[in-house]
Structure 1
Amino acid sequence: MILTGPAIRDAVTSGTITIDPFEPRLLNPNSYNYCLGAQLEELTSRPADPTVPARTRTIHLTADGFVLQPGTVYLGTTVETIGSAAFVTSLIGRSSLGRLGCFLQISADLGQLGAVHRWTLEITVVQPLRIYPGMRVGQVSFWQPSGSRSPYHGHYGTLSVPAAWSPRAAAGHGATSAPLLQEVTA
């Protein structure tokens, strides 16, 4: 069951859902519009290799904006701290940006119970596109889970900065300094 806009507002008021800062004007009929933070990480590893930590370049967004380029993956964050121990989050892009060729949350749109933080956003474009800090870029919806609950305790559930992929995090380990297991199954 998906929460409606009024139910999201009520859950924020009661503290069951965290959206901070919360602006009622950003509520939709069954979601909340989230905004882009002021920092991006551009993935610079070529080719990308899932067995080693990704290399990135930090980009600080200004009021003049920044032009995203095709063929590149950027990691940003939400302005808002978002999450809940009671509801499952799902973050998607806005259709207005999709119509301009911007793909947001390429493959990881599902949040986990108990993860409350500024979410890392996966961004790529099919044509050059100027973006700005604080602009509305996506929507978060909240879903009622069914069954017993076990909160998320993984690496990414507490990060509030754009976080590049690391093999240790993907294996369920919080730190990235320990050696990666060498066995890879095809």
Structure 2
Amino acid sequence: MSRYEIAFSGQVLPGAELALVQANLAKLFQADAQRIALLFSGRRIVIKSNLDAAGAEKYRATLERAGARIEVVALDAEELIEEIELAPPPASPAAPAPAVVASAMQPSSAARLKVAPRDEYMAAFVEVDAPDFGIAPVGVDLQDARPAAQPPAVDFSQFSLAPVGSDMGEIKAKPAGPPPDTSHLKLQ
């Protein structure tokens, strides 16, 4: 089954007004002016990828009705699938759990992933040396042991305790004055 992608390069159909096409696409994509300006920057932008033929035709018809010139590109099956080849497992017999954890923590030169590039961009990463990390058994503690925390050395010799009830330099509140005389007031 063929797969397609829809790409837009900022071009409008002959006879279409640029401002009207921009307004139509803003309404269609529910995008703000900044995103619409990015669409019309002249760069080729893939709007939707990995579509079947019916979906690609639906996108093409909708975008051309809005006034945009788009291109529908068939994707090769090889572009969609990234091949990964794993190195063969080591020929040694199964080791006990601590040895498995140690080997999982330290990358070995025999267990390396070999990735075939899917395009020019990924071809730049062919020579990257990436270890194939293993998985530790269930229940194994992978965190390094923490050293015991040392209490801080604090010198309290300069401090002393005052006797109970002594004045510690607090400012004492003034005693409240006498309550006001309300004997002359009456309720009616």
Q: Same fold (TM over 0.5)?
A: no
> Normalized per residue, which structure has more helix?
2
- If each structure's strand is expressed as a fraction of its own residues, which one has the higher value? 1
TM-score range, shorter chain: under 0.3
Normalising by the residue count of structure 1, what TM-score does the alignment of the two structures yield?
0.22
